[in-house]
Amino acid sequence: MKRDSTRPGHALALSVAVLAGAAAGTAQAQSGAQTNGGATLEPIIVTAERRGSDVQRTPDAITVVSGRRLDENFITHINGLNGLAPGLQTTKTAGFENLVTIRGVGSATPENGLTTSPGVSQFVDGVYIANTISLGETLFDVERIEVLRGPQGALYGQSSIGGAINILTNQPKLDVYEGSADVSFGTYSLTRARAAVNIPVSDAVALRASIQKFDHKGFTKVTPLAPFRMDDAHDGAVKAALLWQPRDDFSAVLTARLYKSDQHGDAQKNILDPDPDPRRATQDYPGHFELESQLYHLNLRWDAGPFSVRTVTAYQGLDHEQRANGSRSTFVQAGFYDDIAAWNTHVHNYTQEIDILSPEGSRLEWIVGFFGLYQTGKQYVLEFQRFGGGPVTQAELTPRPDISSNPPANLAYGNISHVLRRSWSVFGQATYHLTDDLRVTGGLRYNHDFFRDQAYNFSAFGVGSVANRRTDETPTWRIEADYDLTPDTMVYASYARGYKPGGVNGSSGQALIAPTFRPEKNDAFEIGAKNYFLDRSVRLNLAAFYYDHRNFQYLQTDPVPFKTGMSNVPKIRDYGLEIEAQYVSPDSRLRGGASLSLVKGEIKGGYLSLDAPTANAVIAANQGFGVCAFGGQFYNPACWAAILAARPDIGGNQPPATPKVSGSLWASYRWDVAGGALTGKAQYVHRGAMWARIFNDPRLDRVKAYDVTDLFVEYVPNDSPVRLSLAVTNLFDRAGVNSRFTDPYGTGQTSQQFIPPRQVIGTVAYRW
């Protein structure tokens, strides 16, 4: 009996097309095929489960965003996907991180990326990106992005407890010489230049090279440092990929990708800033952000007949340097300064993945594999503070060569950390076709993770070192069944466990925070339906889920200053409904789509927890002759006891970055005009109100809802390689708040970061 070859093999994580260096099966989310009954929606081919398959035949909640759609909405960073994939939220934090959450599960440990794992894993062409800083890189040469919603425990393993994001770039092609170039100009002095060329060197060798340069002036003026601005962009990227395919059953792709960013950093506006203008920040210490990354990987494919082999061997290097105004204020206004003169991170990451797959189309399809990771990291932090006195001098904020052994009086915190992470896992998954219409899948993965943090902490209050380590060994799995009710309707149900490793805290002498924190687990139950209607001119997908989410990792403050670290909330319940729909008219001129996400989450049971604002309030109330007088918070157990007694019960609170309602609507129409085709598109995105932290403090954590409307117009002359377009993002110039951030360290200031203002961008593109 012949099996349906469009079924996925439920393989492990990544794109077989990319691994093979062949980008066949490009997502056609907005394309139409003409039939006798009119236009129909073309299949969207995904490779999220290693074998290419129609998303409508893949029993998982997957959203595909094509490179075309990224261009139409001028989405340049991963946080531009908010609202486009149901349940996905990307929030900026601390001025240098993007934390990703799907369905309320992700990361809530900002400023600790070196010692924790992301809760939504990111892959670039099959390579696992094991840090959160790289999420801020500008998107480059993207063919499509696949967003997998829900834990991917059997397929992706650790760090995929909330889901996974696969970024698939354009790959070399044999026998085709082609290229493209475009240049964009816009408001805020925006310029973006991109070029790519595919060169068939021989019958078996092809090279693709691409380059991008992106700049714009900062959106936020910083006073009294004018003309200094933040929220600017000055970055560039290059990529070269070499394909060797001596025969049909073997290919190798060697890729090198370099990225560099040098800018003033994201604007973090204090919620107490006296200037009401969201695009002006009253601060007196200039920020700086610099990031260099390099990614090299070799992707091999060998189809041996009875099985296929896929391997990905990769190295990623990251160098990040940052300085920031920790008070998000001025010395004159606040009466103190809290300035971070250095927050530097350096990471070396080595990964290896090997997958062995059964042939497609058999009754039993299977995959077995191995994943290994070896990571070393170094972090260097200097934070200066002074309360009262005269004006700040530059000498006070200049690091000295002997600063770690002889800290100055105004050094509030210094840290040198060396982190080692080792991870490996073995996995297997199989799909059995009980009938042509009914299939069952089972997968199991064994995860082994090891963290070690050797930290040296130094300040005017003393010096000390600590060495903490943790090992986790955890199985994860997925069980699923799906059934074709009709050729156009599939239903499925699944039970999966996702896992995020535990980790270590880089300090000692805490009164509350443990040296290590436990792994996070998520048992997920999901049912879904994938449907075509009206002769396949309408696509409608639905998914409902229920999560038993345990040991949620978050940042908790210790009563002893500068001892903050990660802790675990015992239990959270999350549940929700997601809807995605697309439409194409019979003449293929009108297209549209919509997405809707409804999510509810709650901490179950009572749980006492401490944050920096609560601790600071207790310290302030116990000055004078109180238990915290004369710096008692640094040495007096009675002060620590008073702080612990003030811990609020956060039971019943909602998880962070989880709006109850979010979604989008879009529609486009194509007109035939003199000499060419004119296409207009409008998109509306709504992100509902949410909480920034697990503490749900309405003064500090409430992030209001916002709405954004984007417009796009494109003109393509007949028989011409030229394309002209105009994009308007944030048409009504809404000052929506992307996120709020309460600094868990230092003075505990709360700031907020705004979405970009209205931008008008014109593009001229040429393809040959």
Give the Cα separation of 700 and 748 in Å (integer): 11
| 151 within a domain of the structure (yes/no) | yes
Q: List the beta strands (DSSP E) in 326-461.
A: 336-357, 364-387, 411-433, 438-459
Give the Cα separation of 710 and 278 in Å (integer): 20
Q: Is the pLDDT of residue 596 over 90?
A: yes
| Structural domain span for residue 48 | 16-610+647-767
CA atoms within 13 A on the CB side of 103: 31
Range with the largest mean pLDDT of 234-248, 604-618, 742-756: 234-248
Least confident of 114-128, 528-542, 638-652: 114-128
Q: Is the pLDDT of residue 341 over 70?
A: yes
- Of the pLDDT bands very low, low, confident and very high (cuts 50, 70, 90), residue 115 is confident
Nearest to 457 by CA among 355, 379, 541: 379
CA dihedral 65, 68, 74, 80 (to 10 degrees): 10
- Of the pLDDT bands very low, low, confident and very high (cuts 50, 70, 90), residue 1 is very low
Q: Mean of the pLDDT values across residues 448-474?
A: 91
| 409 within a domain of the structure (yes/no) | yes
| 617 within a domain of the structure (yes/no) | no
Q: Mean of the pLDDT values across residues 226-253?
A: 96
Q: Mean of the pLDDT values across residues 224-231?
A: 93
The predicted pLDDT at position 420 comes to 95
CA dihedral 564, 453, 326, 336 (to 10 degrees): 70
- Of the pLDDT bands very low, low, confident and very high (cuts 50, 70, 90), residue 32 is low
Nearest to 165 by CA among 46, 327, 297: 46
Give the Cα separation of 200 and 154 in Å (integer): 38
| 346 within a domain of the structure (yes/no) | yes
Kindly report, residue by residue over 649-678, the tens digit of the pLDDT.
999 999 999 999 999 999 999 999 989 999
Give the Cα separation of 364 and 344 in Å (integer): 50
The predicted pLDDT at position 8 comes to 35
Kindly report, residue by residue over 389-406, the tens digit of the pLDDT.
888 888 888 888 999 999
Residues 6+ apart with CB under 8 A from 395: none
| 174 within a domain of the structure (yes/no) | yes
Six-digit token string for 616: 């600071």
User: What separation in angstroms does the CA of 127 have from each of 18, 303, 315, 317, 346?
Assistant: 11, 21, 9, 13, 19
Q: Is the pLDDT of residue 5 over 80?
A: no
Nearest to 75 by CA among 162, 14, 145, 157: 145
In this structure, are strands 759-767 and 737-742 parallel, antiparallel, or unpaired?
unpaired
Q: Is the pLDDT of residue 631 over 90?
A: no
Task: Name the residue with tokens 């003064």.
Answer: 699
The predicted pLDDT at position 35 comes to 52
The predicted pLDDT at position 37 comes to 60
CA angle, 115 then 613 then 737, to 5°: 75
Q: Mean of the pLDDT values across residues 427-444?
A: 96
| 619 within a domain of the structure (yes/no) | no
Whether the Cβ atoms of residue 479 and residue 531 lie closer than 8 Å to each other: no
The predicted pLDDT at position 34 comes to 57
| 615 within a domain of the structure (yes/no) | no
Q: List the beta strands (DSSP E) in 159-232.
A: 163-169, 178-186, 190-200, 205-216, 220-223, 229-230
The predicted pLDDT at position 745 comes to 79
Q: Mean of the pLDDT values across residues 553-582?
A: 93
DSSP 608: B
- Provide the CATH number for the domain around residue 431: 2.40.170.20
Helix (H, G, I), strand (E, B) or coil at 220: strand
Percent of the chain clearing pLDDT 90 (strictly above): 77
Range with the largest mean pLDDT of 87-101, 102-116, 337-351: 337-351
Q: Mean of the pLDDT values across residues 300-313?
A: 94
Give the Cα separation of 77 and 75 in Å (integer): 6
Kindly report, residue by residue over 151-167, the tens digit of the pLDDT.
988 888 778 999 999 99
Q: Is the pLDDT of residue 388 over 90?
A: no
How many domains does the chain contain in total? 1
| 451 within a domain of the structure (yes/no) | yes
Determine which helix (DSSP H) or strand (DSSP E) holds 538, and give its type and residue range: strand 538-556
Helix (H, G, I), strand (E, B) or coil at 625: coil
Kindly report, residue by residue over 358-376, the tens digit of the pLDDT.
988 889 999 999 999 999 9
The predicted pLDDT at position 194 comes to 98
Q: Is the pLDDT of residue 36 over 80?
A: no
